[in-house]
């Protein structure tokens, strides 16, 4: 099991700039001497009789992959019967600081010789991939130094002519960066460096074309979106062993995928389908998307989580979970099923504050605002008066009916007192489920209670329904519900209490 590293030092993008460009690589170890699995000899002076670690990336996290105890000659071995997942690795000191980075490919038998007093000159013996990496890094470092100098000169330029000359030099330098990357692509097309460059790539947006005499302003956006993942296949486990794949993935969903749940579902379905054969990348992506959309940032995106549950977890992928996580994900899915945006609201048959029968679907209204709240909840005591203020000043004129559902039948006296003190009487419906009714549901074997049907695991919880009692908004703040109502009705200006 990989263990998380604590207290690590900063870790840069090694393909753009690295302080270790002078690393030396010499000829390979003869194939006949190579053991199976991974076998990396390391000599790291001046450490003796102490443990050092082999670290790598797991998305944007850093983890430990192996360890060894250095002997009196400062030598140890990272070794095991299983091969390491190829990618970017780094040596970690006894105090958990990253010392230097290197590449691990399929040929996992080589030597590392380094001295902490001069890490820039560490040597790798027996790795062609590190030879390519070292050469590329050295050139990119030199170009990076030139760029820094030119940028500093531009900042201190005294005349417009000086600025123009420097900008021309910067443009030429940009061409040199591209040429070096292209050199890797053409000269070593199957190398790990080529793979890393493909992952790092961001397509350049083309100029806006003129089609039938009109400018197509959307073309550059869709061009970049459609080429964002060129030459990247989502079942490649090496993606996890870079610090930049997950960042690129986040960038893609933030900037190039619509927030509409159906658009997101299309993307995650494709990625997970392709990744299915990737032993490491598949569970990584599945759980990344699950964590993101189980409690989404934007309203309605819980539909994505439900899609993941129905199309992956419920079809056997719960084997990736322990029993506790399996139970939590399943319960969460069933809590969301009944209250997705666009679904009819679950029936509410409750008692009013004076113990008369109440049914949600017998309450005609242009809009219905349902507030689940607890009279002992401090946050509820702040938000519920704000709901009433919005209702009094604006919502009732828009045809909104407000239903306040007390979720705590043990505090009926406190509930009634708060409703009376706050003057919630005019236009509200105040209801609750009796203890007897709840017990009857449970004894009848009903799989879901009102709390589960409406996903009420915190208070207050709010819903907005249309005239047909379909859910049109949920999980918003009171102010956001007000803005939403103003948007869908396009009537009165906002009045914030």
Query: Is 10 contained in some domain?
Result: yes
Residue 203 domain-assigned? no
Residue 21 has pLDDT above 70, yes or no: no
User: Do the domain assignments include residue 132?
Assistant: no
The answer on 313 and 359 residing in a single domain is no
- The verdict on 457 and 367 lying in the same domain is yes
End-to-end CA distance of the chain: 54
Helix axes 281-294 and 302-311, enclosed angle (nearest 10): 140
Within 338-407, where are the H helices? 378-393
My answer on whether 238 and 326 are in the same domain is yes
Are residues 324 and 242 located together in one domain of the fold? Answer: yes
Buried b (16+ CB within 10 A) or exposed e, 6-27: eeeeeeeebbebbebbebebee
Quick one: 333 and 370 in the same domain? no
pLDDT-derived band of residue 137, with 50, 70 and 90 as boundaries?
confident
Task: For residue 285, give the H/E element and its range.
Answer: helix 281-294
173 contacts 143 by C-beta, under 8 angstroms = yes
Q: Are residues 325 and 390 in the same domain?
A: no
- Our count of domains for the chain comes to 3
* Residues whose CB falls within 8 Å of the CB of residue 110, separated by 6 or more in sequence, listed in order: 28, 29, 40, 41, 124, 125, 126, 127, 130
Chain center to CA of 19: 30
278 and 380 together in one domain? no
Residues 108 and 221 in one domain: no
Average pLDDT over the chain, rounded to whole?
88
Q: At 370, is the secondary structure helix, strand, or coil? A: strand
Residue 24's pLDDT band (boundaries 50, 70, 90)? very low
- Asked if the structure places residue 155 within a domain, the reply is no
Is 372 in the same domain as 316?
no
Question: Which DSSP string corresponds to 289-309?
Answer: HHHHHHS-SSTTTHHHHHHHH
- What is residue 323's predicted lDDT score, i.e. its pLDDT? 85
State the CATH number of the domain containing residue 114: 2.60.40
Same domain, 423 and 321: no
In-domain check, residue 344: no
Which CATH number goes with the domain that contains 415? 3.40.30.10
- Of 455, 441, 446, the C-alpha closest to 306 is 455
Q: Are 452 and 390 part of one and the same domain?
A: yes
Q: What is the dihedral of CA 423, 426, 429, 434, to 10 degrees?
A: 40
Confidence at 298, pLDDT banded by 50, 70, 90: very high
Stretch among 108-117, 357-366, 449-458, 461-470 having the lowest mean pLDDT:
449-458
Is 358 within a domain? yes
Task: Evaluate whether residue 269 is within a structural domain.
Answer: yes
For residue 16, pLDDT over 80 is answered with no
Tell me whether residue 239 is in a domain: yes
- The reported pTM is 0.82
In the chain, what is the greatest distance between 2 CA atoms, to the nearest angstrom? 89
End position of a domain, from candidates 310, 337, 364 = 337
pLDDT at residue number 12: 30
Which of 126, 156, 190 is the last residue before a domain boundary?
Answer: 126
For residue 446, name the pLDDT band (cuts at 50, 70, 90).
Answer: low
Same domain as 373, residue 332: no
- Which of 314, 337, 360 terminates a domain? The answer is 337
Predicted pLDDT of residue 238: 97
Residue 261 sits in which domain range?
Answer: 210-337
């Amino acid at each position: 099991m990989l263990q998380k590293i604590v207290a690590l030092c900063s870790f840069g993008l090694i393909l753009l700039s690295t302080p270790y460009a002078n690393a030396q690589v010499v000829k390979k170890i003869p194939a006949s001497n190579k053991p199976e699995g991974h076998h990396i000899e390391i000599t790291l002076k001046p450490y003796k009789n102490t443990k050092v670690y082999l670290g790598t990336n797991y998305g944007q996290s850093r983890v430990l992959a192996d360890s060894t105890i250095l002997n009196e000659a400062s030598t140890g071995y990272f070794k095991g019967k299983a091969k390491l997942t190829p990618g970017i690795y780094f040596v970690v000191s006894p105090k958990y600081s990253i010392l230097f980075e290197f590449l691990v490919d399929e040929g996992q038998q080589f030597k590392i010789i380094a001295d902490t007093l001069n890490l820039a000159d560490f040597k790798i013996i027996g790795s062609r991939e590190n030879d390519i990496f070292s050469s590329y890094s050295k050139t990119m470092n030199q170009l990076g130094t030139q760029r820094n100098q030119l940028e500093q000169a531009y900042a201190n330029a005294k005349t417009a002519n000086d600025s123009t000359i420097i900008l021309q030099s910067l443009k030429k330098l940009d061409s040199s960066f591209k040429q070096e990357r292209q050199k890797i692509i053409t000269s070593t097309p199957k190398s790990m460096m080529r793979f890393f460059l493909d992952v790092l790539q961001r397509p350049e947006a083309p100029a806006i074309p003129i089609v039938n005499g009109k400018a197509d302003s959307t073309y550059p956006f869709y061009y970049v979106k459609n080429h964002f993942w060129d030459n990247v296949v989502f079942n490649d486990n090496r993606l996890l062993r870079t610090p930049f794949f997950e960042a690129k993935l986040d960038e893609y969903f933030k900037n190039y995928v619509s927030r509409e749940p159906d658009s997101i579902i299309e993307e995650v379905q494709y990625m997970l389908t392709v990744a299915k054969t990737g032993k490491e990348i598949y569970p990584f992506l599945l759980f990344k998307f699950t964590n993101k959309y189980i409690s989404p940032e934007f309203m309605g995106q819980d539909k994505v989580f439900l899609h993941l549950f129905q199309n992956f977890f419920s079809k056997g992928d719960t084997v990736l979970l322990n029993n506790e996580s399996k139970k939590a994900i399943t319960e969460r899915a069933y809590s969301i099923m009944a209250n997705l945006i666009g679904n009819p609201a679950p029936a509410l048959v409750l008692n009013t504050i004076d113990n008369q029968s109440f049914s949600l679907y017998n309450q005609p209204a242009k809009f219905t605002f349902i507030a689940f709240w607890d009279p002992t909840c401090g946050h509820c005591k702040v938000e519920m008066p704000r709901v009433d203020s919005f209702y009094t000043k604006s919502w009732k004129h828009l045809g909104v009916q407000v239903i306040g559902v007390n979720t705590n039948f043990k505090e009926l006296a406190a509930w009634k007192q708060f409703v009376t003190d706050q003057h919630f009487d005019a236009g509200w419906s105040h209801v609750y489920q009796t203890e007897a009714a709840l017990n009857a549901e449970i004894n009848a074997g009903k799989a879901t209670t009102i709390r589960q049907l409406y996903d009420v695991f915190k208070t207050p919880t709010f819903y907005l329904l249309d005239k047909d009692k379909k859910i049109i908004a949920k999980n918003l703040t009171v102010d956001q519900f007000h803005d939403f109502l103003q948007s869908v009705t396009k009537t009165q200006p906002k009045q914030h209490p």
